[in-house]
Structure 1
Amino acid sequence: MSFGIFNIPIPTNEPVKEYRPGSPERVAVKQAIQGFRDNETDIPMYIGGREVRTERKLRIAPPHDHQHTLGYFYEGEKEHVEQAISAALAAKEKWANLSWANRASIFLKAADLIAGPYRARINAATMLGQSKNAYQAEIDSACELIDFLRFNVHYADEIYRQQPNSSVGVWNRLEYRPLEGFVFALTPFNFTAIAGNLPTSAAMMGNTVVWKPAYTQALSAKVIMEVLQEAGLPDGVINLIYVDGPVAGDVIFNHADFAGIHFTGSTGVFQKIWGTIGANIHKYKSYPRIVGETGGKDFVLVHESAEVDEVAAGLIRGAFEYQGQKCSAASRAYVPKTLWPAIEAKMKQFLGEIKMGPTEDFSNFINAVIDERAFKKITTYIDEAKKSDQVQLIAGGEYDGSKGYYIEPTVLQVFDPGYRTMCEEIFGPVLSVYVYEPDEFDTIVQLVNTTSPYALTGSIFSKNREVIEQVTKELQNAAGNFYINDKPTGAVVGQQPFGGARASGTNDKAGSALNLYRWISARTIKETLVPPKVYEYPFLEADKIF
């Protein structure tokens, strides 16, 4: 056998393609879209490398064209969860013992497959299945997922190289073992990259995984599995199941080999999971790792020194890209009275130019929200706001769910900073603005800090460095990702590790080594090169008498 210490390719962020008219990427993704529209996709579960189908077929449709059938996925039951766990445990030893170079190569190949032959396919699946425009799909399902795979390999290599000092006559070593048992990855609809990262980051560190994607992300989840299979991921390392949440949870959280959960979703669900794990803690071989990112009520704080056009652009992009269905989306803004008329006018100008419609029409900035349930929830907030004497409708407010789940980008000016749209996560294209007197700025800073239980993202717009320093310090716990003169969205792997605390999650920073540490358990090995042969120490010697 030959040996070597190998250097991982240095990762760089995947360049974002522009999809200009006539560009090769635009032609390719349109062809892929047409292929998905012309042929209904069969989406099985993947358990132990087998494609598993059941009698229960569930239909998927584009949120912006819910009469059209994209395909069907197969919903499983308790037995399929048990099969997935068994497959993960059966694959565990062989996968954990595979050399790091060969494990890493699988994920590096997966990144290159997405960057190349699968790019149009995974973007098209995201555009249709999750109603993302071409640019939002590109930065998510292509670039961010590629970055997660490449940078996580780099971070894992850095972790493995971290070793303790050794004293004379001793060689100290650290082994970074995978967790004992299986990891459960529970992923959301809104980012294909998150759906890919949550299972692969744990698997990269030698774990085997049961993966349950959101049903509304089934089409792009299938493409992810196609990529991983072509990249050479062994059977049973990642097992994809479509099972109702409580059914899956009842099996997984009662299993002795449950080793951890990698979660992105709602705060309520995560808190319930945490409570269940706590109640069952005596059942597990080890204390499970609980890693979760759960959403936010993300703020934009505007100082009177800010530039009007920059604020308006930041609010429009931050609040309404991907219909506000980002856990980092700007959903509450605090604007000084001196700047509000100009900012309001500029935002209205921008919103008057924005088009809304299907993702297949590349001129549309706004598309549909994910499903009927989300549509009803968001529009209920809008209807209530329209009736309230505490709110003035500034822009938008109209909606139509007849063909697609379309909701206009909506701006509300609230007169009570504690009004519910300033406090509660809506997860849709609704921005609430509170206009304050400039001399109340210090009070507003504290209001930002205490209004919401979340602490995911936030930003300050100001040209005054003293103000920037003040706000950065006073709001240090209000956002895990804090932005200066920028929208509070768009974290890039390797540049802005992502995650928040308080009700926003465990702040384990996806896109950094911090996250990968959660999926390993270190073992210290001390080897004494020449062991002593007697038990005595020098201090035991008798004093000499002169």
Structure 2
Amino acid sequence: MATATPSLAHFKLPVIENEPMMAYAKGSAERAKLKEALDEMIAQGTQEVPVVINGEKIYTGNKAQQFNPSNHKSVVCDYHQADAALTEKAIQGAVAAQAQWEALPFNDRVAVFLKAADLLSQKYRYKVMAATMLGQGKNIWQAEIDAAAELCDFWRFNCKYAEEIYQQQPPKNAPGNWNRVEYRALEGFVLGISPFNFTAIGGNIPSAPALMGNVVLWKPSPSAVYSNYLVYEILVEAGLPAGVIQFVPGPAEEICSTAINHPKFASLHFTGSTKVFKKLWADVGKNMDKYVTYPRLVGETGGKNYHILHPDLDKAGVHHAALQTIRAAFEYQGQKCSACSRCYVPKSLYEDFKASITAEHAKITQGAVEEFQHFSGPVINKFAFDKIKSYVDHAQADSESEIIAGGKCDDSVGYFIQPTVIKSNNKFSKTMVEEIFGPVVTVFVYDDEKFEETCQLIGETTEYALTGALFAKSRESIVKGSNLLRQTAGNFYINDKCTGAVVGQQPFGGARGSGTNDKAGSWTLLVRFVSMRTIKENFVPISDYAYPSNLI
């Protein structure tokens, strides 16, 4: 009896396009459906989320809570936590499931993720968005571009990129030989650690390696457990076999140390803080003699992202830069690794820039995510609130800093920090140098004749190199600035904000202290989770071991 499904054809994937984004205008059908989903989720109250290992839902009784940051008395979910023993069980189950999963024909693996994208796009769009809004503090638009559009795009475009990778084969064959390449899954399991701020990243962290035949332990962020669990359930409904992705919420140190100490640890797929990634990297380094293979470490971490205005901008260009800075700094309360956190403005343009950004800032409203009109919502939790507030407090007390807009903080009901604009006279002030991860942007005014020097300053101010944007009018200025800033950002924008990378359009990632720059939303990420095997098959027997050059 055959032990594997025969591959009887090469299949061509459907045409892949970006998921259309809905506008949610007042009175629209999609707005009404989202409100219905939100109302239903609120009425249902606290959800219960299990650990899931080998398809079994495990209720450990060791529970933690995910709160609604708009109303921190409201519990979104109680989630059961895995411990070291359950993590070990998850590893064993995943490793056992790998052979059968990897052996599935490519078209069958792809079908799982294409179906998941369609389920999310249609059947579960509003439910996952509602969970993202209530659990992670996103307004409608931020939830739409993340939990709906971007996650659909990750699942679909990853399939297309995988198809292209598998098509890369040796172009030459000697007479009587056939050369080919297999793209094997890694030998062992992948540890996937996802952040709170993007449901789409939560879905992509385990899905990208799984698509390539790997098995994954997925540890979601404590502040995004519920939306991530819904994503996991969508994958299961789409046909993902048990054990391929193990859903293991719980204490990071216990889960990660158990996984990283295991001989079958093959890769880390991580999005989170630079400090944590460096710690995990060091821990892996200490364990190198334990592993079956050299682990692949893939990480997207922090940023201290910038906008810089060139002196050649006209008044309209300055206003455009101010608007883009508001979006880049304050959308989703600055809780994007790509968010603009520092802005360099030439002295001749500062008054116009200040007038624009303060006037537009005055229009920003802030409130609970269920109140659809607000541009700004809460930060994620008490720890984030206290940390961000400390920077605002510092600016208020610092003689070299001036708060020119915002600065109010209130955690009585939810974790609300008003979008804040600081002007600093010190190019290395605390708020110019340190990652804040909140709705705070600091402006430094430079002398017009020091544009080149300021570009150099951008690269020397922090360890990061994630995103950055140049606003300039002439092509000469654009080329000059782009070249000077080449190593300061993995995603560089010209006359556009430094946030908002779209899968299939702007592959995302940074270098230096911002990560390994493996570019989520591109084929370069997927190749990190395969190990190539080159095969040479000979069809013609040789008649002698000696070569003509050996003959006398």
> Under a length normalisation based on structure 1, what TM-score does the superposition of the two structures give?
0.98
Find the partner of 2:268 among 246, 250, 261.
Answer: 261
1:278 alignment partner AA: G
1:237 alignment partner AA: V
Counterpart position of 2:184: 177
Find the partner of 2:59 among 33, 53, 69.
Answer: 53
Greater mean alpha carbon deviation, residues 310-319 or residues 436-445: 436-445
Counterpart position of 1:511: 521
SS in structure 2 at match of 1:216: coil
2: CA distance, partners of 1:325 / 1:294: 13
Counterpart position of 1:101: 107
Find the partner of 1:220 among 211, 219, 227.
Answer: 227
Does residue 86 of structure 2 align to residue 64 of structure 1?
no
Find the partner of 1:392 among 402, 418, 422.
Answer: 402
Counterpart position of 1:373: 383
Find the partner of 1:166 among 173, 178, 198.
Answer: 173
Does residue 159 of structure 2 align to residue 149 of structure 1?
no
1: CA distance, partners of 2:256 / 2:113: 28
2: CA distance, partners of 1:135 / 1:531: 65
SS in structure 2 at match of 1:69: strand
Q: 1:196 to 1:390 in 2, by over 3 A?
A: same
Counterpart position of 2:25: 20
Does residue 19 of structure 2 align to residue 9 of structure 1?
no
Deviation track 1:45-92 (CA, whole Å, cap 9, x = no partner) reads 111101111122222221011112222111221111111111111111
How far does residue 532 in structure 1 lie from its aligned partner after superposition? 0.6
How far does residue 194 in structure 1 lie from its aligned partner after superposition? 0.4
1: CA distance, partners of 2:364 / 2:162: 43
Deviation track 1:9-32 (CA, whole Å, cap 9, x = no partner) reads 121111111001121211111111
2: CA distance, partners of 1:452 / 1:105: 43
SS in structure 2 at match of 1:353: coil
Counterpart position of 1:493: 503
Counterpart position of 1:452: 462
Q: Is residue 66–residue 224 contact of structure 2 (8 Å, CA) maintained in 1?
A: no
2:532 alignment partner AA: A
2: CA distance, partners of 1:509 / 1:9: 23
SS in structure 1 at match of 2:71: coil
Greater mean alpha carbon deviation, residues 199-208 or residues 525-534: 525-534
Counterpart position of 1:293: 300
2: CA distance, partners of 1:440 / 1:524: 53
Counterpart position of 2:361: 351
2: CA distance, partners of 1:222 / 1:33: 17
Q: Is residue 50–residue 58 contact of structure 2 (8 Å, CA) maintained in 1?
A: yes
Counterpart position of 1:31: 36
How far does residue 321 in structure 1 lie from its aligned partner after superposition? 0.1
- Which segments of 5 or more consecutive residues in structure 1 lack a partner in the other structure? none
Q: Is residue 47–residue 240 contact of structure 1 (8 Å, CA) maintained in 2?
A: yes
Greater mean alpha carbon deviation, residues 58-67 or residues 114-123: 58-67
2:487 alignment partner AA: N
1:216 alignment partner AA: S
Question: What pairs up with 1:191-210 in 2 under 5 angstroms?
Answer: 191-210=198-217
Counterpart position of 2:126: 120
Q: Is residue 49–residue 236 contact of structure 1 (8 Å, CA) maintained in 2?
A: yes
Does residue 508 of structure 2 align to residue 502 of structure 1?
no
How far does residue 124 in structure 1 lie from its aligned partner after superposition? 0.6
2: CA distance, partners of 1:532 / 1:41: 69
How far does residue 309 in structure 1 lie from its aligned partner after superposition? 1.5
How far does residue 2 in structure 1 lie from its aligned partner after superposition? 6.4
Matched length: 542
Runs (4+) off by over 6 Å: none
SS in structure 2 at match of 1:539: helix
1:71 alignment partner AA: C
How far does residue 36 in structure 1 lie from its aligned partner after superposition? 1.3
Counterpart position of 2:291: 284
How far does residue 256 in structure 1 lie from its aligned partner after superposition? 0.3
Question: What pairs up with 1:317-328 in 2 under 5 angstroms?
Answer: 317-328=327-338
Q: Is residue 78–residue 247 contact of structure 1 (8 Å, CA) maintained in 2?
A: yes
> Under a length normalisation based on structure 2, what TM-score does the superposition of the two structures give?
0.97
Q: Is residue 82–residue 255 contact of structure 2 (8 Å, CA) maintained in 1?
A: no
1: CA distance, partners of 2:30 / 2:67: 24
Counterpart position of 2:431: 421
Deviation track 1:205-229 (CA, whole Å, cap 9, x = no partner) reads 0000000010100110111011011
1: CA distance, partners of 2:549 / 2:472: 66
How far does residue 166 in structure 1 lie from its aligned partner after superposition? 1.2
2:105 alignment partner AA: S
Deviation track 1:299-342 (CA, whole Å, cap 9, x = no partner) reads 10101222122111110000000000000000000001111111
Find the partner of 1:329 among 335, 339, 342.
Answer: 339
1:514 alignment partner AA: T
What is the Cα-based RMSD across aligned positions, in Å?
Answer: 0.9
Counterpart position of 2:481: 471
Counterpart position of 2:493: 483
How far does residue 533 in structure 1 lie from its aligned partner after superposition? 2.1
SS in structure 2 at match of 1:68: strand
Find the partner of 1:134 among 140, 143, 153.
Answer: 140
SS in structure 1 at match of 2:452: helix
Counterpart position of 2:416: 406
Find the partner of 1:316 among 298, 312, 326.
Answer: 326
Greater mean alpha carbon deviation, residues 320-329 or residues 334-343: 334-343
1: CA distance, partners of 2:82 / 2:232: 17
Deviation track 1:337-364 (CA, whole Å, cap 9, x = no partner) reads 1111111111111111111001111100
Counterpart position of 2:259: 252
